[in-house]
Amino acid sequence: AQRPAQRGWDGVGRTADGHPVKALANIGSATDAAAAAAAGAEGVGLFRTEFCFLAATSEPGVEAQRAAYAEALAPFAGKPVVVRTLDAGADKPLPFLSATDEPNPALGVRGIRVAFDRPEIVDRQLEAIAGAAADTGAEVSVMAPMVATADEAAWFARRARAAGITRAGVMIEVPAAALSAAEVLDAVDFVSIGTNDLAQYTFAADRMLGALAQLNDPWQPALLRLVELVARAGRERGKPVGVCGEAAADGLLAGVLAGLGVTSLSMVTAALGAVGASLAEHSMATCEQAARTAVATAEPAQARQAARDVLHR
Ligand code: PEP
Ligand code: MG
């Protein structure tokens, strides 16, 4: 069968009038990396390193980590790869890292918070990532998950630079970080919005509960307004603002996110063709108009319809 949605995708993400919006892949393993490279991903916007060690009962040593990361980075020599430091906790517990006695694991010591008491864990990981970058020639950046404040972002960036990694960023997935986007961006080189957790924490709605799926809909105008705020802060500073949550895999929403000022979209590999083709169909001015109308609505169905009215005209 024909797949008309894939027309116009030549492997480079950009709008119809040539504004670059990188189409990147989310990976969690070397297998994912090979598939993403074969599908023509421009790079990797999110390497979830915790997926490499879900079964590990003790912390993998620096050399073991380096080998695992190098295997995933190898297909992306000369291309950008954002390696996220371990995001253990809540829906992805790691036996060697996660506390088991927290009443609210999603609000607990997870993501970068694990490292504040045990900085040697993130330092060893950063050393392994720097080694894997040297082994493979991938253009590696590092990114911390679950950052809430500009102070935490600066703490992470200092440690990344001490490990010899020149590009450090953070996820924007806690509402406080989105509301402090300007200060957070001043502390790092880039940010990437994790819409899955940002929705969960903005709406106080567990992302694992099907019953609350409506609140976790990435078309929620309140979520889009936070994306807008972060993208504006990035634009003012000339720093990249990506989206790496499931929102980035929605072809219609991709146009809205580009219009809000997002500079890269990172998604499951299977979505690359459709999202790339969708971006290529619209000018940036049209995307901006779709974004303006979607953000001004009161609920997800209206936001979708508003974007459709502009983009499918
Ligand atoms: C997110 O929260 O949107 C994200 C990309 O990270 P994860 O899904 O791994 O929590
Ligand atoms: Mg997340």
Separation of 97 CA from ligand 1 center, angstroms? 18
The whole-number pLDDT of residue 7 equals 57
Gap between the Cα atoms of 279 and 105, Å rounded:
37
Gap between the Cα atoms of 37 and 76, Å rounded:
7
Atom of ligand 1 nearest to the CA of 145: 6
Pocket of ligand 1 (CB under 6 A): 46, 48, 87, 173, 194-197, 244-245
pTM greater than 0.90 (yes/no)? yes
Q: Which amino acid is at 122?
A: V
CB 170 within 8 A of CB 184: yes
Q: Which of 83, 173, 201, 226 to mutate to test the pocket of ligand 1 (most atoms within 8 A of CB)?
A: 173
Gap between the Cα atoms of 166 and 126, Å rounded:
11
The whole-number pLDDT of residue 173 equals 98
Gap between the Cα atoms of 258 and 267, Å rounded:
14
The whole-number pLDDT of residue 1 equals 37
Measure the CA angle with vertex 46, ends 44 and 49; round to 5°. Answer: 115
Gap between the Cα atoms of 119 and 61, Å rounded:
15
CB 176 within 8 A of CB 117: no
CA-nearest residue, atom 8 of ligand 1:
196
CA-nearest residue, atom 4 of ligand 1:
194
Of the candidates 103, 108, 105, 107, the one whose C-alpha atom is nearest the C-alpha of residue 91 is 105
For residue 104, the SS3 value is coil
Separation of 36 CA from ligand 2 center, angstroms? 20
Separation of 283 CA from ligand 2 center, angstroms? 30
Query: Would you tell me how many other CB atoms lie within 10 Å of the CB of residue 91?
Result: 14
Separation of 242 CA from ligand 1 center, angstroms? 12
> How many angstroms separate the Cα of 140 from the Cα of each of 26, 40, 290?
14, 18, 33
Separation of 200 CA from ligand 2 center, angstroms? 9
Residue 176 φ/ψ, nearest 5 degrees: -60, -40
Of the candidates 132, 133, 196, 142, the one whose C-alpha atom is nearest the C-alpha of residue 169 is 142
Atom of ligand 1 nearest to the CA of 197: 2
Long-range contacts formed by 205-210: CB under 8 A, 24+ apart? 206/106, 207/91, 208/91
CA-nearest residue, atom 9 of ligand 1:
48
Gap between the Cα atoms of 246 and 43, Å rounded:
17
CB 232 within 8 A of CB 12: no
The whole-number pLDDT of residue 8 equals 65
Residue 243, CB-side half-sphere exposure with 13 Å CA sphere:
32
For the chain, the maximum distance between any two Cα atoms, rounded to a whole number of angstroms, is 55
**Looking at residue 169, what DSSP letter applies?**
E
The whole-number pLDDT of residue 93 equals 79
Per-residue pLDDT of the chain (313 residues; tens, 9 = 90+): 334 445 568 889 999 999 999 999 999 999 999 999 999 999 999 999 999 998 899 999 999 999 999 999 999 999 999 999 999 877 787 888 887 789 999 999 999 999 999 999 999 999 999 999 999 999 999 999 999 999 999 999 999 999 999 999 999 999 999 999 999 999 999 999 999 999 999 999 999 999 999 999 999 999 999 999 999 999 999 999 999 999 999 999 999 999 999 999 999 999 999 999 999 999 999 999 999 999 999 999 999 999 999 999 8
The whole-number pLDDT of residue 11 equals 86
